[in-house]
Amino acid sequence: MKKMTHLKLAAAAWVAGLTALVCFPATAWATGNIDTNNSFAWSENAGWINFAPTNGGVTVATAGLSGYAWAENIGWIQLAAMGSTYGNTTKDDWGVKIVGSTLQGFAWSENAGWINFAPTNGGVTIQSGGQFYGYAWGENVGWIHFQKASPAYGVRTTASLGGTLILFR
């Protein structure tokens, strides 16, 4: 009887651990490399979108963006599928990739749907100094603006690849 109780406890612990891994993947809690003093974009319909939230964060790398941004009104926005090559061709291979200084591809929000970083009449680039500039578009949230002088807000990466700050132009 004692052996059966231990087996039940071990099985319960295994299931709890597996559930935690599935529901709370490690990348969701990464901090990213967005400047915490310059981490907000704005959408008239979604409100403030934080690219360096507590328990999340967006990482800018050579290939593209990964991680999660947070918007109080729409929840988590995932910048790339797990293990993505940024192909944006299948349900398992999507994300926001970097081509030159331009961001291309799609982010996903369970509550807002697909967010296009290179829409017609818009688009987002990363300027010198790491500042994001321009507009992304989501069918359910409208335009997302990444930088404005007054009132001042914006998103800026602190990414350093190969010992050099990412500078695009």
Encoded tokens for 62: 């050579």
- pLDDT at residue number 8: 54
- pLDDT at residue number 157: 96
Position 167 confidence tier, pLDDT thresholds 50, 70, 90: very low
Identify the bridge partners of residue 164 per DSSP, sorted by sequence position: 161
- pLDDT at residue number 21: 37
In sequence order, what are the residues at sequence separation of 6 or more whose Cβ sits closer than 8 angstroms to the Cβ of residue 139?
113, 114
User: First-to-last CA distance in the chain?
Assistant: 70
Kindly report whether the global pTM for this prediction surpasses the value 0.95. Answer: no
Higher pLDDT pick, 13 / 115: 115
- pLDDT at residue number 151: 87
**Block residue for tokens 């993947």:** 25
pLDDT, one tens digit per residue, over 16-74 is 443 433 334 443 445 789 999 999 999 999 999 999 999 889 999 999 999 999 999 99
- Answer whether residue 158 shows pLDDT above 50: yes
For residue 167, report the phi and psi dihedrals to the nearest 5 degrees. -125, 120
Domain residue spans of the chain: 1-25, 31-165
- pLDDT at residue number 107: 97
- Answer whether residue 15 shows pLDDT above 80: no
